[in-house]
Structure 1
Amino acid sequence: MVKNEVLEFCESLIDNVTVIKGYLEFSAEKDSPRPYITKARAELEMLTRNLVNFMEQKCM
């Protein structure tokens, strides 16, 4: 059971990283990249919160 939860969580992390990568790649193509960098930062903050919450739930 826990193994499936960990696998699902890891897959969601990969999805989050893919979104962040897309924002950063897109920002490199734009004259004003700030909105895309801001979106990437927000996604990264959400990913970090999710990771901390998951670790607290599963490891404590």
Structure 2
Amino acid sequence: MTIGIRALNTSPVKSIKRNIGVTDIPVKFGGITFVPDNYVYVDADGMLLSKQKLL
């Protein structure tokens, strides 16, 4: 199957380092909130988030 792929921002621009930021805060990616001190387990079938260490 022939498909076309288009990338945005194909000319990378170096970021400006300001040495500021925030740590230990929840972040959200793809509709999932990742909370500090939680565990993330990933395999080929998917992803699992847990408040407890499972392994």
Q: When the two structures are superposed, what TM-score results if normalisation uses the length of structure 1?
A: 0.15
Q: When the two structures are superposed, what TM-score results if normalisation uses the length of structure 2?
A: 0.16
**If each structure's strand is expressed as a fraction of its own residues, which one has the higher value?**
2
Structure whose CA Rg is larger: 2
Higher relative contact order (CA 8 A, sep 6+): 1
**If each structure's helix is expressed as a fraction of its own residues, which one has the higher value?**
1
